[in-house]
Amino acid sequence: MIGAVPLRARGAVTVILASIVGMLAFTWPLIVGGGTLLEHNASAPLLLALVVALVLIVSLVALGEGGVDSKALAMLGLLAAVGAVLRPLSAGSAGIELVFLFLFFGGRVFGAGFGFALGSVTIFVSALLTGGFGPWLPYQMLAASWIGLGAGLLPRRLRGWLECAMLASYAAICGFVYGQLLNLSFWPFTLGLDTELSLVAGAPILENLHRFAIYSLATSLGWDLLRAIVLCALVAALGPLVLSSLRRTARRAVWGSGDNRLSVEKEKFGADQ
Number of H helices, E strands in the chain: 10, 0
Residue 2 falls inside a structural domain: no
> Span 261-269, mean pLDDT?
43
E-strand spans in the chain?
none
Query: For position 33, what pLDDT does the model report?
Result: 59
Could you tell me if 86 and 96 are in contact, meaning their C-beta atoms sit under 8 angstroms apart? Answer: no
The residue among 226 and 49 whose pLDDT is bigger is 226
Residue 56 falls inside a structural domain: yes
Task: Identify residue 42 by its one-letter amino acid code.
Answer: A
The residue among 248 and 63 whose pLDDT is bigger is 248
pLDDT tens across 164-199, in order?
999 999 999 998 999 888 888 877 777 666 677 777
Give the domain range for residue 66. 9-259
Mean pLDDT highest for which of 22-36, 85-99, 123-137, 185-199?
A: 123-137
Residue 14 falls inside a structural domain: yes
DSSP code string of 118-185 = HHHHHHHHHHHHHT--STTHHHHHHHHHHHHHHHHHS-SS--THHHHHHHHHHHHHHHHHHHHHHHHH
Residue 273 falls inside a structural domain: no
Residue 265 falls inside a structural domain: no
C-alpha angle 165-169-172 in degrees, rounded to nearest 5: 140
Query: For position 258, what pLDDT does the model report?
Result: 45
In terms of C-beta density within 10 A (0-12 exposed, 13-18 middle, 19 or more buried), how is residue 47 classed?
Answer: buried
The residue among 4 and 87 whose pLDDT is bigger is 87
Query: For position 269, what pLDDT does the model report?
Result: 37
C-alpha angle 148-94-187 in degrees, rounded to nearest 5: 70
pLDDT tens across 20-38, in order?
878 887 877 777 655 554 5
For residue 253, pLDDT over 70 is answered with no
CATH at 131? 1.10.1760.20
Pairs from 7-12 (Cβ < 8 Å, separation ≥ 24): 7/111, 7/112, 7/113, 7/152, 8/62, 8/65, 8/67, 10/61, 10/64, 10/65, 11/58, 11/61, 11/62, 11/65, 11/67, 11/113
Domains contained in the chain, number: 1
Residue 34 falls inside a structural domain: yes
pLDDT above 70: percentage of residues in the chain? 70
The residue among 244 and 11 whose pLDDT is bigger is 244
Query: For position 272, what pLDDT does the model report?
Result: 41
> Cα dist. 196→8, 56, 150, 190, 199 in Å?
47, 41, 35, 13, 9
Range with lowest mean pLDDT among 60-69, 156-165, 195-204: 60-69
> Span 93-113, mean pLDDT?
82
Query: For position 168, what pLDDT does the model report?
Result: 95
Could you tell me if 29 and 212 are in contact, meaning their C-beta atoms sit under 8 angstroms apart? Answer: no
The residue among 41 and 49 whose pLDDT is bigger is 49
Pairs from 257-263 (Cβ < 8 Å, separation ≥ 24): 257/65, 257/66, 257/67, 258/66, 259/6, 259/66, 260/2, 260/3, 260/6, 260/67, 263/1, 263/2, 263/3
Mean pLDDT of the chain: 76
Cα–Cα distance between 197 and 247 in angstroms, integer? 47
Give helix 70-90 / helix 221-253 axis angle, nearest 10°: 150
The residue among 150 and 95 whose pLDDT is bigger is 150
Query: For position 14, what pLDDT does the model report?
Result: 76
For residue 68, pLDDT over 80 is answered with no
The residue among 51 and 273 whose pLDDT is bigger is 51
The residue among 190 and 161 whose pLDDT is bigger is 161
Residue 140 falls inside a structural domain: yes
Residue 267 falls inside a structural domain: no
